[in-house]
Amino acid sequence: MQQRSHQHFQAVAPRLGWVRRALAACLLCGLAGAALAAPLQAQWSFRLLPGDAQLSAHPGMETWRAATVPGSVHTDLLANGLIGDPYVGAVEAGLQWIGLGDWEYRARFDVDAATLARPHAELRFDGLDTFAEVRLNGRPLLQADNAHRTWRARVDGQLRATGNELRIVFRSPIRTLLPQVQAMEHKIAGNYPSPYGDEPKDAMVGNFVRKPAYHFGWDWGPRYVTAGVWRQVHIDSWDDQRITDLAVRTDALDADRAALSVLLQVEHSAAAGKVPVALAVLDPEGKPVAQLRRQVALQPGSTTLELPVEITRPRRWWPVGYGAQERYTVQVRIGSGVGEALSSSIRTGLRTVQLQRDEDADGGQGFAFVINGVPVFAKGVNAIPFDAFPSRVTRERLRRDLQSARDANMNMVRNWGGGYYESEDFFDLADELGLLVWQDFMFGGGMQPGFDPAFRANVVAEARDNIRRLRHHPSIVLWCGNNEEETAWKDWGHGKTLKEADPVFADKVWQGYVELFGNDLRAVVAEEGLGVPYWSSSPSNDLDTKANDSRRGDKHYWDVWGGPALPPTAYLKETPRFMSEYGLQAWPQQSTVDAFATRDEQQIDGPVIRAHQKFMAGEGNTRLLHYIAMEYGTPRSFADFVYLGQAMQAEGIALAALHHRASRPYTMGSLYWQLNDVWPGASWSSVDYYGNWKALHYHARRFFAEVAVAALRDEGNTSVSLLNDGLQPLPAQWRLRVLDFDGRVLQQREQALTLAPQSATAVARLSDAELLQGADPRRSVAVFDLMRDGTLLAQRLVYFTAAKDQALAAGQLQTELRAVGDHHVLQLRSAGLVRGIWIGFDKNVASVEDNAFDLLPGQSRELVVRGAADLATLRKALQVRTLGDTL
């Protein structure tokens, strides 16, 4: 549950007298056996349950075969060569039988003598997906019905030295729930309609089961209703006591002092009595900065202790851009005898968090995160699960994508509610990188059966498990009840339709929603969340009358791309208090498409490409073409389609993000949809499944930079704001130049000013007539520069017509690739304007440090090439695209 490190405890012990004296006892814990938690070392196998209906079409699947835990049915079938790669080609429909089957897993294992000698033992299952019947050595052990919970079962006296057998039957969630859902006289709205006919569209089961909702399919990922032991299994054993929880509550914190309460939960099975407790706090370098020793009384059962501790001049944890990401280690030891000593430790950061909800004079209400007393403009992104099969997500993959977020100047990630609660690795990396985490509870859409008390109790247990597991991470700054369920009920017709069919049942459904998301989860966060705020849904104003309101609470805006499919300039007319979702779609780069489709299969309306385009059941390319056509015309090839789609996505999201930043402090957050991909395919991501940056991510690094220019043109007028997210005033100059595409300066002006810290400063509103002064709009560009002492800090280009109408010339860009010392450099130059430069390498043999930018007339750039290929290979693989060449 918590991070524990006996090794770290040993490393710092010589610096603290009582720790040194206790060290021998601590080291003997594993031998004498006070308490031990260890992953189950077992030989795992799996099979389709004998007698299952799927065997008629898939004979032989009842044979036991090797399995991997953590894992899933799909990954085990793939490893055994029983199915092809679920991500390659158009195979999804042919694999739906897996989710309709009942599967059995078997673990055979031995138990060491020390574990058997302890009087108490339990098996702990960190993730069972989902309807699981568990037996140990032929005897029923537990029944699970929630993939998001930790399941525990006492096994005192049931373990043997050799030949233990654990069996787990996983029942199909579709077959388990569909009869009762179909039996409902009036259905509640489901999450995502299946295109495969496994569930009728009016009887979806995903919102009735506590399982990752995206497994049932989403508009960016496949439908693979998997099953299995998806997280680790442990054997926990102990003597008279064990530590079951350790947390640190911040009672007061400023630059001078931190007043903390260390919350320690101990399970005690002996008679009541007193035991010694020792506590140490180590600073980020491992130096002890506080300690406490006392006798505490333990009663039989569970005891929660509060141990006060103070730190002078604490080093606070800050989001990136606001300070360092300092973390302390808190260590606790109970008992003094060799056979009784228990120790536990956690690593945490010290910070305060507030969700600021100031009322406006006109009835609006703000939405801003305040960390350590400092308001933070949230610049970031929504994250979806990192794979269809979560056991395949490594720490390295998480680091790759979260580092990409930080490298693009983001400071917040929203963990969307249709997946699963992420691993310790995710949050540890977010702590390290300074990324704030908005954490949804795992509800992705539709409507929940909150009217069922058993369902609500299951969710409350799930919430308590995960809050306790994760609450020591300073990166978590919000727990949010669900994604889009309130707005679906109020705005999408879900509530209206049910009220018309059965007003009594509709009222029951809504009251169940209020109980679950308005009361139950709020109470759990208040009890367990160590002061992190709760928000009932996104978007919402926390159960206010209107769910998706630009003037109050957070906002999801999908009139661009979704709904009426308005042009990207519509973003400039929508000014929310906090924009928590908006997005435009694009395909990933050529090498990623090559991973699942042959070149012959890469047709815009081909079956494999449609299979990897999940929006509108494969019709999403029509929507994408609609947006490409607005700005660039109709692509002539699939390669043009990919390139132009990425350019459209990047330029459209830049409009929105810069508008949000320019609206500070009225608007205090901009989180676009989405960071990452669950598989290779079309989506709203800026980083594809293999970690490649789309054009959007390179643009994000610029539009989320600490200092930026928001020059935004709409309906013939350009508004200019200068953005400074820094903590200090910024003396600078801003400059306007209007150039023709050959580089002739049509007009120029410059002004000195000082930008206030953490501010957006409006400096101009200019009409096309003022800027062009009679020049040809097809051949002109306005250049807005922000400089300090002659050094360019930020730049924004504004064009006056759609790219398809501009006088862009082909063959303008000159490139030279050469070796410089131990690396390679690509030089770009052009006498005329070049738009939309994209630099790629065949088979992805290399990448460049920057991409997806324009080059002004006469400008040159040198880019470092990253990759191990030699110069000859790089020259052969180099591929450069521009809008002039493409259009």
What CATH number did the domain enclosing 743 receive? 2.60.40.10
Using CA atoms, how far apart are residues 132 and 145, in angstroms rounded to an integer? 7
Q: How confident is the model at residue 193 (pLDDT cuts 50, 70, 90)?
A: confident
User: ∠ CA(703), CA(707), CA(710), 5° rounding?
Assistant: 50
| Residue 17 pLDDT greater than 60, yes or no | no
Average the pLDDT over 475-482 and give the result: 98
Same-domain check for residues 203 and 229: yes
Q: Is residue 219 part of a domain?
A: yes
Q: How many residues does the chain have?
A: 887
**Residue 393 forms part of a structural domain:** yes
Which residues touch 527 (CB under 8 Å, ≥6 apart)? none
Same domain, 385 and 523: yes
pLDDT of residue 639: 97
pLDDT tens digits, one per residue of 83-135: 999 999 999 999 999 999 999 999 999 999 999 999 999 999 999 999 999 99
Which tokens go with 754?
Answer: 């000082």
Q: Is the pLDDT of residue 13 over 50?
A: no
Cβ proximity of 415 and 438 under 8 Å: yes
Residue 621 has pLDDT above 90, yes or no: yes
Strands (E) in 537-690, as ranges, are 555-556, 579-581, 669-673
Q: Is 528 a domain residue?
A: yes
Nearest-angstrom CA–CA distance, 359 and 22:
54
With a pLDDT cut of 90, the percent of the chain lying above it is 92
User: What is the reported pLDDT for 6?
Assistant: 30
Do 646 and 614 lie in a common domain? yes
pLDDT of residue 553: 97
Residues 420 and 298 in one domain: no
Pick the range with the lowest mean pLDDT from 57-61, 258-262, 295-299.
295-299
Q: At 192, is the pLDDT very low, low, confident or very high (cuts 50, 70, 90)?
A: confident
CB 328 within 8 A of CB 295: no
Contact 364, 577 (CB under 8 A): yes
List of residues 6+ apart from 51 with CB closer than 8 A: none
- Same domain, yes or no, for 305 and 286? yes
Q: Residue 618 has what pLDDT?
A: 76
How many beta carbons lie within 10 A of that of residue 461, not counting itself?
A: 17
Name the residue with tokens 């960390």: 371
Q: Residue 753 above 90 pLDDT?
A: yes
b/e per residue 373-401 (b: at least 16 CB within 10 A): eeebbbbbbbbbbbbbbbbebeeebbbbb
With a cut of 90, say whether residue 21 has pLDDT above it: no
List, in sequence order, every residue forming a beta bridge with 502; answer none if it has no partner: none
Q: Tell me, yes or no, whether 147 and 275 share the same domain.
A: no
Residues 448 and 555 in one domain: yes
- Asked if 688 and 715 sit in the same domain, the reply is no
Q: For the chain, how many structural domains are there in total?
A: 5
- Is residue 98 in some structural domain? yes
Q: Are residues 284 and 426 in the same domain?
A: no
Over residues 516-555, the pLDDT tens digits come to: 999 999 999 999 999 999 999 999 999 998 999 999 999 9
| Distance between CA atoms of residues 730 and 756, nearest Å | 7
pLDDT at residue number 337:
54
Residues 431, 325 within the same domain: no
Q: Give percent of the chain with pLDDT exceeding 70.
A: 95
CB 122 within 8 A of CB 37: no
Residue type at 155? V
> Do 80 and 96 share a domain, yes or no?
yes
Contact 795, 709 (CB under 8 A): yes
Q: Hey, is 883 helix, strand or coil?
A: helix
Residue 429 placed within a domain: yes
State the DSSP string of 494-518. Answer: HHHHHHHH-HHHHHHHHHHHIIIII
Residues 397, 505, single domain; the answer is yes
Range of the domain at 789: 707-805
How far, in Å, CA of 656 to CA of 722, rounded? 15
For residue range 580-591, what is the model confidence (pLDDT) as tens digits? 999 999 999 999
User: Residue 201: which pLDDT band, with cuts at 50, 70 and 90?
Assistant: confident
What integer best gives the mean pLDDT of the chain?
94
The HSE-up count of residue 95 (CA atoms within 13 Å, CB side) is 24
Q: Residue type at 18?
A: W
On whether residue 481 sits in a domain, the answer given is yes
**Domain termination site, one of 669, 703, 737:** 703
> What is the CA 109 to chain-centroid distance, rounded?
36
Q: Which helix (DSSP H) or strand (DSSP E) does residue 144 occupy?
A: strand 139-145
- pLDDT at position 8 over 60: no
Determine the straight-line distance between the first and last CA of the chain, rounded to whole angstroms: 56
pLDDT at 18 over 90: no
Place of tokens 């997906």: 129
pLDDT above 70: residue 207: yes
Is residue 367, in this structure, part of any structural domain at all?
no
Average pLDDT over residues 395-403: 98
Among 234, 261, 282, residue at a domain's last position? 234
- Out of 217, 234, 251, a domain closes at 234
Tell me the backbone φ, ψ of residue 116, rounded to 5 degrees.
-65, -30
* Cis peptide, bond prior to residue 295, ω within 30 of zero: no
Cis peptide leading into residue 39 (ω within 30°): no
What would the pLDDT profile of 817-861 be if each residue is shown by its tens digit? 999 999 999 999 999 999 999 999 999 999 999 999 999 999 999
Does the residue 362 lie in any domain? no
CATH number at residue 211: 2.60.120.260
Helix (H, G, I), strand (E, B) or coil at 296: strand
Does the pLDDT of residue 167 top 80, yes or no? yes
